[in-house]
Amino acid sequence: AQSVTQLGSHVSVSEGALVLLRCNYSSSVPPYLFWYVQYPNQGLQLLLKYTSAATLVKGINGFEAEFKKSETSFHLTKPSAHMSDAAEYFCAVSVSGGTSYGKLTFGQGTILTVHP
Amino acid sequence: GAGVSQSPSNKVTEKGKDVELRCDPISGHTALYWYRQSLGQGLEFLIYFQGNSAPDKSGLPSDRFSAERTGGSVSTLTIQRTQQEDSAVYLCASSYRQGAEQPQHFGDGTRLSIL
């Protein structure tokens, strides 16, 4: 079975500072990896996805993530934080085969706070 | 509509009552998923539909939970004899077709509170 660990349930940065949200995965088969963002009282919005085409993935709102197989990591970064980036971020994994059919397994989430 | 639509957005009910939660996926999306989001358990998979069939029901927590999908479109999640531990946000997602690489598009969820 696959799993995801997000290191740090809360991350706080200053506006304009680098954002780094950590995600490590466990999977016995090649994974597909996703980052989603959730604003209060809303559903999840896809930021970016890794599907093996390229290890550095660019997403919406200036976010990007790098897949590192040797480290089993898929950390999310943004060079300069904006106040509007304050939200909860979820890393998720999906695998092919068996009965998985693309169901997502999520990490516990990281709440990002951005200070002026 | 343009996105996944869920109704009601909020539901408050008494313990022991039955509830129905509705999901309208994006038009043309064949795969539909239900997830539950709660403080203690995070985001959990409940059930997956491909068309009107449910190949994977492994996440349903008990036999009080059931779901169906009709016409390859609308899905209803039913919880019978609700318990307080059923309080959570129930999220529906759809994707164009089944597959691990397919991005899932989420609705805003139904917030269920059991008194």
Strands laid side by side in the A64-68 sheet = A3-7, A19-26, A73-78, A64-68, A56-58
Confidence tier at B2 by pLDDT (50, 70, 90): confident
**pLDDT higher than threshold 70 for residue A92:** yes
**pLDDT higher than threshold 90 for residue A99:** no
Q: Per-residue pLDDT averaged across A48-72, rounded?
A: 93
Closest CA to B96 of B38, B35, B32: B32
Confidence tier at A100 by pLDDT (50, 70, 90): low
As a whole number, the mean pLDDT across chain B is: 94
B55 vs A: CB within 8 A = yes
Mutation for A interface: B4, B26, B43, most A CBs within 10 A? B43
pLDDT tens profile B37-93: 998 889 999 999 999 998 888 899 999 999 999 998 999 999 999 999 999 999 999
Which are the contacts of B4, defined by CB distance < 8 A and separation ≥ 6? A43, B23, B24, B25, B26, B92, B93, B94, B105, B106, B107
**pLDDT higher than threshold 90 for residue B25:** yes
Report how far residue A88's alpha carbon sits from residue A40's, in angstroms, rounded to the nearest whole number: 8
CB-closest option in A95, A100, A106 to B43: A106
As a whole number, the mean pLDDT across chain A is: 93
Mutation for A interface: B101, B106, B110, B111, most A CBs within 10 A? B101
**pLDDT higher than threshold 80 for residue B10:** yes
Q: Per-residue pLDDT averaged across A76-104, rounded?
A: 90
H helices of chain B, in order, are: none
Q: What is the nearest CA distance from B39 to chain A, expressed in angstroms?
A: 10
In chain B, % of residues over pLDDT 90: 85
Which are the contacts of B73, defined by CB distance < 8 A and separation ≥ 6? B24, B25, B27
**pLDDT higher than threshold 80 for residue A98:** no
**pLDDT higher than threshold 60 for residue B1:** no
Angle at A46 between CA A38 and CA A116, to 5 degrees: 50
Confidence tier at B99 by pLDDT (50, 70, 90): confident
**pLDDT higher than threshold 60 for residue A75:** yes
Q: From residue B92, how far is each of A105, B61, B77 by CA, in Å?
A: 14, 16, 10
In chain B, % of residues over pLDDT 70: 99
Confidence tier at B97 by pLDDT (50, 70, 90): confident
Q: For tokens 């197989």, what's the residue?
A: A69
User: Chain A partners of B50 at a C-beta cutoff of 8 Å?
Assistant: 101
**pLDDT higher than threshold 70 for residue B24:** yes
**DSSP, residue by residue, A90-103:** EEEEE--STT-TT-
pLDDT at B56: 86
